[in-house]
Amino acid sequence: MRILEGKSLSAEILGSLIPRVKAVKAGLGRPPSLAIINYFGDSPSAVYVKRKIAACEALGIEVKLFNPAAADGYTAFKNLLSRLGADAACDAIMLERPLPDGFETLETWDALPAAKDVDGLSSLNMGRLFISTKFPEIAAGGFFAPCTALAVIRLMKFHGIDPAGKIIAVAGRSAIVGKPLAQMLTMLNATVTLCHTKTPDLPGIFKRSDVVISAAGKPRWIKKEMLQASAAVIDVGTNFDETGKMCGDADFEDIKGSIYAATPVPGGVGPVTLACLLEASVAAAETRARSTSGGLSSAEKK
Ligand code: NAP
C-alpha cells in the first residue's frame, strides 16, 4: 500500500514561506502576526496549538496566544474578536475548536473579519468558496478557505491522486472540514457523496468509492471490508485511543495490506493543514503590506 505522507509537502510549503516572511518584515517593519484563540488548554487542540506556535517561531511569524475561559462569556469572546479585528498589528486570526457551548454561531462567523479569517470560516469567505466554480479561484480570488479541506486537496494532488472523474465519499459534514471539502472536490470534477451519521448504507457507499475521506472523528472505525482494493483513504480524523495514542478514523493496521493507498495518522493531513494555516497567515500579512505605503517589492519577495 502506498503511504500518502504529509511531511514532505508540509516542508515544501513552509520552505516557500521563508522569503515571503522576509518580504513582509521589510514591507511592514514587523513579521506577519497570527492570533490564536484557544479556549480549552487541556483539550487535544492544545497539542496542535503548541505545534503551530513552534512552526511559526521557526519561520519568524509572531504568534499571540489567547486562552480565555468559557466562564468569561460570549460577550467577552465577541469583544476579543472585535479588538483583534481592529488591531493593525494582527494579520490573522485562528479560532481553535472546540469553542465553548453555544459559541459556534452564525454571529461568531460573521464577527470574524474576512481579511484575517485564515481558516475561512467567516460568512464572506465561506460564501465565496461556495459561489466559486473553479478551484484556482481559491488561490487567485483573494479569499481564505478552510485549511484542513485545502490540505486534503493539496495532499491528494501532491501524491498524484487527481479528484477529476473520481467517485469520492466524504464522511463528516462539518462546516470546517466535510462541507467545504465536498465543495472543493466538486469544483475539481469529482462526484461526491457527503456522508454523516444518518446516511443509509454507508459501507455500500464506501465500497463503491475510488477515494474515501473520513472526517468523522471516530477512532479506527474504517475497516478493510468497507473498501475496494483500488481505494485510497484520506484520513482527516485525529483521535486518541484508550491508551492515549493518536490514531485516525481508519484502522491503519487492518487496511494496510488491502487497499491502494492511505494517509498515516499522525504524519498525513495534519502537517499539511498546519502549513496551509501558516501560508494563509503570511498571505494575510502580504495583503496588509501591499496596502501600506511601503508595500512589498518584487525584489524583496525573491
Ligand atoms: P465534527 O464537527 O464533530 O463533525 C463530525 C462529523 O462526522 C459530523 O458531520 C458527523 O455526522 C460525522 N460522523 C460522525 N460519526 C460518523 C459515522 N460513523 N459515519 C459517518 N459520519 C459520521 O468534527 P470536525 O471538526 O469536522 O472534525 C472531524 C475530525 O477531523 C476530528 O477527528 C478532528 O479532530 C479532525 N480534524 C483534523 C484536522 C487535521 O488537520 N488533521 C483538522 C480539523 C479536524 P452528523 O453531522 O450526522 O453528526
The H or E element containing residue 191 is: strand 191-195
Identify the segments of the chain with pLDDT beneath 70: 293-302
**Domain spanning 30-125, CATH class:** alpha beta
CA distance 65 to 87: 15
How far does the centroid of ligand 1 lie from the alpha carbon of residue 175, in Å?
A: 10
How far does the centroid of ligand 1 lie from the alpha carbon of residue 79, in Å?
A: 29
- Note the helical H segments in 29-122: 45-59, 74-86, 106-111
Residue 299's pLDDT is 44
Identify whether the C-beta of residue 155 lies closer than 8 Å to the C-beta of residue 183: no
The CA radius of gyration of the chain, in Å to the nearest whole number, is 19
How far does the centroid of ligand 1 lie from the alpha carbon of residue 215, in Å?
A: 4
Residue 43's pLDDT is 76
* CATH 3.30.720.210 assigned to 147-269: no
Cβ–ligand 1 distance for 276 under 6 Å, the answer no
Cβ–ligand 1 distance for 269 under 6 Å, the answer yes
Domains 30-125 and 147-269 alike in fold: yes
Select from 40, 156, 174 the residue to mutate for testing ligand 1; criterion: most ligand atoms less than 8 Å from CB: 174
CA distance 136 to 281: 19
Read off the pLDDT of residues 2-38 as tens digits, 9 standing for 90 and up.
999 999 999 999 999 999 999 999 999 999 999 999 9
Cβ–ligand 1 distance for 226 under 6 Å, the answer no
Q: Is 206 exposed, middle or buried (0-12, 13-18, 19+ CB in 10 A)?
A: buried
CA distance 239 to 249: 7
Residue 295's pLDDT is 62
Residue 293's pLDDT is 59
Residue 136's pLDDT is 87
Domain boundaries of the chain, sorted by first residue: 30-125, 147-269
Cβ–ligand 1 distance for 169 under 6 Å, the answer no
Residue 302's pLDDT is 43
Identify whether the C-beta of residue 53 lies closer than 8 Å to the C-beta of residue 65: yes
